[in-house]
Amino acid sequence: MDTQLARLSRGASPQEDSFAGNLLAGLSKTPKEIACKYFYDESGSRLFDAICDLPEYYQTRTEMALLSRHAAEIAALMGEGVEIVEFGAGSLRKVRILLDAACNPRAYTPLDISGDYLCNVVRSLAADYPALTLRPLVGDFTLPLEIPTLPGPMRRAGFFPGSTIGNFKPDAAMALLRRMRSTLNGGGLLVGVDLVKDPVRLHAAYNDAAGVTALFNKNLLARANRELGADFDPEGFAHYAPYNAAAHRIEMYLVSLKRQSVSLCGQRFDFAQGEPVHTEDSHKYTMESFREMAARAGFNPRAVWTDQDRLFSLHWLESR
């Protein structure tokens, strides 16, 4: 079994596509911003796993319960001998439920931007599923993406859990779904989508009492210090994550607690006291609004499952 990580070739220029390039461009804008995909180096991925176990973070346990409850139905929809392609695979915890239910899965292809972390979690999956062909890929699913096909006839099914789709503004989310549809060569896509709900519950999920989400947010600054020799003072910034009810999204910021300047790759960036740096959006959908968007992206939305409190939803989309 070959579990070596492959790196997908990149379509964008290094300037657009690197952490340094994104930081230099994003901190030169008004308002300042950093792309959320850069949360995920090895520390960021571990912090995200810790978030998933927090009592306030209902998303992971609700989605795992939905996957377990409907695993047989999902396996039947995916079909026999399927290659499961997971976008933004993270800890690989959720796919185990699908692999256990699937009928003779042909291969599992987890794709993630966080290469060192992916390497570790794939090793432990390989030990638990010795007969499975594993094809881990390090890459960015927002860039043009061609996953090499396996020899012979094959059927792919995509898996995109964790409401990662919510990190994209609706137009970008639709473009991403379209790109995934073409990567799947006619196969279906199972997507986990967080639902619009009581703002108090949403606010708590992104502002946990233990401060883990704050550490995750500030990991962007710590990562810039580690990798790029920047001199951010993470204590000089506060985690701020309000719910924007009109836009149905949590917005995440790092807010400068004082007037300060930071040097990064030979450039100096000034921050006013109270100045925000936008780091993430997490859009919430209704089941209907997500199905409409998926249809506009070229899918036929089929089965949808939710929990009794309507916190989270799982959508099976067929390519058309």
Ligand X SMILES: C[S@@+](CC[C@H](N)C(=O)[O-])C[C@H]1O[C@@H](n2cnc3c(N)ncnc32)[C@H](O)[C@@H]1O
Residues that bind ligand X (CB under 6 A): 37, 40, 45, 48, 52, 60, 88-90, 94, 111-114, 140-142, 161-162, 164
Strands (DSSP E) contained in 126-218 are: 133-134, 137-138, 155-160, 189-194
Least distance (Å) between residue 59 CB and ligand X: 8
Least distance (Å) between residue 288 CB and ligand X: 23
Least distance (Å) between residue 314 CB and ligand X: 11
CA-closest candidate to residue 280, choices 226, 222, 228, 206: 206
Looking at beta carbons only, is 143 or 150 nearer to ligand X? 143
Least distance (Å) between residue 95 CB and ligand X: 8
Question: Which helix (DSSP H) or strand (DSSP E) does residue 240 occupy?
Answer: strand 237-240
Looking at beta carbons only, is 271 or 305 nearer to ligand X? 305
Question: Which helix (DSSP H) or strand (DSSP E) does residue 318 occupy?
Answer: strand 312-319
Distance between CA 126 and CA 132 in Å, rounded?
Answer: 7
CB contact at 8 A, 81 and 105: yes
Looking at beta carbons only, is 43 or 114 nearer to ligand X? 114
Least distance (Å) between residue 94 CB and ligand X: 5
Looking at beta carbons only, is 139 or 275 nearer to ligand X? 139
First to last CA, the chain: 33
Distance between CA 66 and CA 204 in Å, rounded?
Answer: 22
Distance between CA 43 and CA 121 in Å, rounded?
Answer: 14
Looking at beta carbons only, is 51 or 82 nearer to ligand X? 51
CB contact at 8 A, 265 and 177: no
Least distance (Å) between residue 222 CB and ligand X: 16
Looking at beta carbons only, is 37 or 284 nearer to ligand X? 37
